[in-house]
Each structure stands twice: as structure tokens, then as C-alpha cells.
């Protein structure tokens, strides 16, 4: 069985380069989702997503000796802050070099808007519950892994628009209106993409027809 994040963290701190590489690979989907949804529309036109993710991973390796956390929650937060700084640096650089447009980014640490805040018990919580229930040993997985990372891995099989909408709604707590403003589409279109993506994700987590997982779609109005 492959080592989990804590085992890899311990080995990487002991100087095992291979373990640090495995640790980075474990969070590649998580970093990709943050980068893809965090880049503003202008920067997404100018930059290759894979290049930005790779640069973020290089920064993770470079700054890893400074990380002092002891669990995955701390690691996930640290990775998010590194990516936030990377996106901010890119935004400033392209703002200076391309005065015709500022490649704005969504501040990853900004408070969510009123339409997307305080949705505990609604779609976000139920989606994470669904992820936990889809695992072979839910209690063991939840105790060892952050569900936000599992969400990023699960969204990797979805079409990009569906994955982005689900991530922005469930992980970033943005409202459909805010997502529409960010993606240049109407609230109705965003909600349609969300519904299709949620159904597709549900099917992928349930597995073959007749699986044991049951999930009630409490769609927001």
C-alpha cells in the first residue's frame, strides 16, 4: 500500500528526495484546481496551466524545509498560501508588462461573497459527505486525508467547466452569481453546469449501477 501524506511528510523531512516527489504528486490535482480557478481570464489566455502548476511545485520543493506543520490540514493550508502568492506574483508581473490589461486574479484568502457564505449543511457539506461515503473505509480515509484534496482528485475526471464550477461553489464557497461573473456567463448557465457536473461526479463515485451509495441532491434554489 502506498504511503499516506503523513508517512511521506516524515520521510521527506528525513531527506528522502523520492518521498518529497511522491508528496508533490499527491497534491498535483489540488494545486491544479487552485491554479486553474484562481487565474483571471486574461492570465489564462497568456499562460499555460501546466507551466504554472509546475512552477508552483518547484516552489513547494524549494520552500519545503520551512514547513513545520504536523498534519495534512496544515500542509494543505501551506500549499494554498504558496499558490496564492504565486498567482499574486504572476498578476503583478503581467500587469506591469502588459499595460493593456491586468490579468486579475481571485484572492484565495478573500472572504466569500454573501451569496456563497455560510452554506454548511447545504451543497458543500453534502458533497464532502458523499466523498467520504464513497471510500472503502470512510472513517480511516477521513481521519487520514483532507476531503478538499479528495474533491480535487475526484473532479479530475470531469470536463473542465463542470470541475471548475463545482470547485468554485463547493471548495471556494462562491455563489452561482459570483461564479458567473468570474466565468463570463449567466447564473442560469452556471447552475446548469453545476447540476450536470454533480450528477456526473455522483455516478463516478457510486461506481457500477446498484452500488450502495445513496445521495440526495439537495439542489440550492
Cα(7)–Cα(74) distance, integer angstroms: 15
User: How does pLDDT run across 138-171, given as a tens digit for each residue?
Assistant: 444 444 478 889 899 999 999 999 999 999 998 8
Q: Is the pLDDT of residue 29 over 50?
A: yes
**pLDDT for the residue 182:** 87
Q: Is the pLDDT of residue 132 over 90?
A: no
Tell me the percentage of the chain whose pLDDT exceeds 70: 66
219 pLDDT tier (thresholds 50, 70, 90)? low
Residues 6+ apart with CB under 8 A from 125: 119
**pLDDT for the residue 177:** 95
Residues 6+ apart with CB under 8 A from 81: 109
**pLDDT for the residue 108:** 35
> H/E/C letters for each residue in the chain?
CCCCHHHHHHHHHCCCHHHHHHHHHHCHHHHHHHHHHHCCHHHHHHCCHHHHHHHHHHHHHHHHHHCCCCCHHHHHHHHHHHHHHHHHHHHHHHHHHCCCCCCCCCCCCCCCCCCCCCCCCCHHHHHHHHHHHCCCCHHHHHHHCCHHHHHHHHHCCCCHHHHHHHHHHHHCCCCHHHHHHHHCCCHHHHHHHHHHHHHHHHHHHHCCCCCCCCCCCCCCC
**pLDDT for the residue 3:** 77
Cell of 132: 467520504
Mean pLDDT of 193-202: 93
Task: Say what the pTM is.
Answer: 0.73
Domain boundaries, the chain: 1-99, 117-211
**pLDDT for the residue 188:** 96
User: How does pLDDT run across 76-93, given as a tens digit for each residue?
Assistant: 999 999 988 888 887 676
Mean pLDDT of the chain: 76
117-211, CATH topology level: Arc Repressor Mutant, subunit A (1.10.10)
Q: How many CB atoms lie within 10 A of CB 85?
A: 14
Please tell me the CATH code under which domain 1-99 is placed. Answer: 1.10.1740.10
Q: How many CB atoms lie within 10 A of CB 203?
A: 12
**pLDDT for the residue 69:** 93
Amino acid at each position: 500500500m502506498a504511503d499516506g501524506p503523513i508517512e511521506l511528510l516524515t520521510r521527506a523531512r528525513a531527506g528522502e528526495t523520492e518521498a518529497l516527489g511522491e508528496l508533490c504528486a499527491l497534491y498535483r490535482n489540488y494545486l491544479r484546481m487552485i491554479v486553474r480557478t484562481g487565474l483571471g481570464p486574461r492570465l489564462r489566455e497568456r499562460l499555460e496551466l501546466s507551466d504554472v502548476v509546475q512552477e508552483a511545485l518547484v516552489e513547494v520543493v524549494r520552500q519545503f524545509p520551512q514547513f513545520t506543520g504536523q498534519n495534512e490540514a496544515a500542509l494543505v493550508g501551506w500549499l494554498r498560501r504558496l499558490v496564492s502568492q504565486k498567482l499574486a506574483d504572476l498578476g503583478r508581473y503581467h500587469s506591469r508588462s502588459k499595460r493593456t490589461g491586468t490579468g486579475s486574479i481571485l484572492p484565495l484568502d478573500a472572504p466569500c461573497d454573501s451569496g456563497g457564505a455560510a452554506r454548511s449543511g447545504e451543497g458543500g457539506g453534502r458533497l464532502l459527505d458523499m466523498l467520504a461515503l464513497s471510500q472503502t473505509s470512510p472513517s480511516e480515509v477521513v481521519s487520514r486525508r483532507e476531503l478538499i484534496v479528495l474533491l480535487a482528485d475526484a473532479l479530475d475526471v470531469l470536463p473542465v467547466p463542470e470541475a471548475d464550477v463545482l470547485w468554485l461553489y463547493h471548495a471556494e464557497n462562491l455563489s452561482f452569481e459570483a461564479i458567473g461573473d468570474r466565468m463570463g456567463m449567466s447564473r442560469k448557465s452556471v447552475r446548469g453546469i453545476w447540476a450536470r457536473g454533480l450528477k456526473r461526479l455522483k455516478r463516478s463515485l457510486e461506481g457500477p449501477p446498484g452500488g450502495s451509495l445513496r445521495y440526495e441532491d439537495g439542489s440550492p434554489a
